[in-house]
Amino acid sequence: MVTLGWIIVSFFCGAIPFSILIGKLALRTDIRQYGDGNPGGTNVARAGNWQLGVLAIFLDMMKGALPVGAAWYFGHVSGLALVPVALAPILGHAYSPFLGFKGGKAIAVTGGIWGGLTLGEAPLIMALFLLLWVVLLAVDGWAVMATLVSFLAYLLLKPTPDLTLILIWAGSALIIAWKHRTDLQERPRLRNWIHRQLSLLRK
């Protein structure tokens, strides 16, 4: 019952649509009219204010980090019981009951739950991998999935890989792959600047 309580709290924390709220309160607009149409911090930035976009991304991370971190460090939820608690904010964001069970692609909140599990270590590693793959790959969905695969390698290369963290990774990867399924129907492509560099090398 304690674990179920943490799952419910985590889900509804994840479901809070901070980007929508910021867009309506600060920008007087529905940020889903911009970019890819999803309720996410990047579309707050596209709506006209990058500072508010950063704030929205930060809040999306916190709504994952705080309940999961509290469940682990203060609620002493561990082992397999931690897996659904950690995945709940991602599902809450991706399928928010406040938005008719629709939601965003859950990248920021995923970084947040890893912050709750590992403090600042995992989000920093994931951010570096994401930056690398966004620079290299032209399709955003493939850049995100390459980031997750790279992060899995990081988890597996630890001296004592943690099965709980591996299972959380697997669940989050499935959710994110589904939310990016349209992008993943395209073939992965290198960015044009890489093709230009390769062409110069062949000359």
pLDDT digits (tens, 9 = 90+) for 94-149: 999 999 999 999 999 999 999 999 988 899 999 999 999 999 999 999 999 999 99
Alpha-carbon distance of 85 to 74, in angstroms, equals 13
Burial 134-155 (b: 16+ CB within 10 A, else e): eebbbbbbbbbbbbbebbbeeb
What is the tally of structural domains in the chain? 1
pTM confidence score: 0.91
Span 154-176, pLDDT tens digits: 999 988 889 999 999 999 999 99
Residue type (1 letter), 134 = V
- 3-class DSSP state for residue 34? coil
Q: Which domain holds residue 143?
A: 2-202
Alpha-carbon distance of 81 to 26, in angstroms, equals 39
